[in-house]
Structure 1
Amino acid sequence: MEKNYFVHESSYVDEDVEIGEGTKIWHFCHIQKGARIGKRCSLGQNVNISNHVKIGDGCKLQNNVSLYEGVELEDYVFCGPSCVFTNDLTPRSKYPKGSAGYKKTLIREGASIGANATIVCGHTVGRWALIGAGAVVADNVPNHAMMLGVPARIAGYVCECGARMNFENDQAICAACGRTYQKSPNGNVEET
């Protein structure tokens, strides 16, 4: 049966893995048992996808990214070079917990995570959020929030197209593409 995706010959794909049509897996990657990768994804050099990780359609993982068990990416998520995900809040080499101790991390549709950013497990990064390079996310992130610093804090909001938005009376119109947004009292932003 002909594959409808590309895996470089230096990469290793375990049994019981699903890879969507048009996906490209480049040099020195490892896709572990039970992983599910959507259509039209791109996995750069030295990417590790652990057991039972779910990746949606159209995701792009740059070089040196590891997604550990408990991490899920929805559609169109971007992971910059060497960004880091964790899955255990209190790891001990002597006292491993196994998958029962892993905390779920959800990266919602369209979110982008900058190079060398760290996402501490047990949190959700909202739709179309933008995590700056080197930021450390240790809490849930609202939709469209731009997060910078250590620990990461909201430094503004970005449109689905990526342009920074300015809110007036909790409403914004993207100057780049014209989408309109409403901000709720809890800081979440939704397109109107």
Structure 2
Amino acid sequence: MFVHAQGLCESESVGDGTRVWAFAHVLPGARVGQNCNICDGAYVEGGAVLGDGVTVKNQVMIFDGVTVGDHVFLGPGVAFTNDLNPRAHVKRGGDELLPTVVERGATLGARVTVVCGVTIGEYAFVGAGAVVTKDVPAHAFVVGNPARQIGWACWCGLRLPESLDCTCGRSFALDGDVVREQVA
């Protein structure tokens, strides 16, 4: 593990190969997997969980109750919330906070805000500046405030055309409201 001279990592649960850069702060109790990259000015609160291979770009805020799966990309300035009814004079913690889950391989673009209590599915793609207020299905491509689905995303990160055949060679098919990869 590497911690920049101006970074602060107080957690004892950080995996091999993880890098914590300048002005980033990982609090005690946070769990961070292997080979993560926590960039300048990021904040990971105790009680947050990051899987393996997570990219946390500059100024990302990950609070208690947020679980991020393996190989998730969190763009610059992504902000998670964990309290639907915050008040400075009311201190909530533990079970009073709503859990948020970002599943394996998802991408959250720059300045995305995630309202607590939602799940963002595997390989979903949340466009820059979106405000996520409800669950996002696996492979969904969502944008806007509030975030709304405008298509599907491939495993490689590209938006899928109507044919659901990606230029990377993968093909998908709709199964009800779910898109599934077709295996040859």
TM-score scaled by length of structure 1? 0.90
* AA matched with 2:143: L
For 1:124 and 1:78, the matched residues in 2 are separated by 15
8 A Cα contact 1:23 1:41, kept in partner: yes
8 A Cα contact 1:17 1:31, kept in partner: no
Q: CA deviation at 1:74?
A: 0.4
Count the aligned residue pairs: 182
8 A Cα contact 1:11 1:27, kept in partner: yes
2:48 corresponds to 1:38: no
1:148-187 aligned at under 5 Å gives the runs: 148-168=143-163, 172-174=164-166, 176-185=167-176, 187=177
2:108 corresponds to 1:113: yes
For 2:130 and 2:159, the matched residues in 1 are separated by 18
Q: CA deviation at 1:138?
A: 0.3
Match of 1:64 in 2: 59
Q: Out of 69, 77, 85, which is 1:74 matched to?
A: 69
2:38 corresponds to 1:8: no
Q: Out of 86, 90, 101, which is 1:91 matched to?
A: 86
CA-atom RMSD, angstroms?
Answer: 1.2
2:123 corresponds to 1:128: yes
- State percent identity of aligned pairs: 39
For 2:85 and 2:43, the matched residues in 1 are separated by 22
Deviations 1:72-118 (A, max 9, x none): 11001001100110000111111222222110100001100011110
Runs of 4+ off more than 3 Å: none
Deviations 1:30-56 (A, max 9, x none): 111111111111011011111121111
* AA matched with 1:178: G
For 1:24 and 1:103, the matched residues in 2 are separated by 28
For 1:163 and 1:12, the matched residues in 2 are separated by 35
Match of 1:23 in 2: 18
Secondary structure at the counterpart of residue 152 of structure 2: strand
Secondary structure at the counterpart of residue 165 of structure 1: coil
For 1:160 and 1:96, the matched residues in 2 are separated by 40
Secondary structure at the counterpart of residue 173 of structure 1: coil
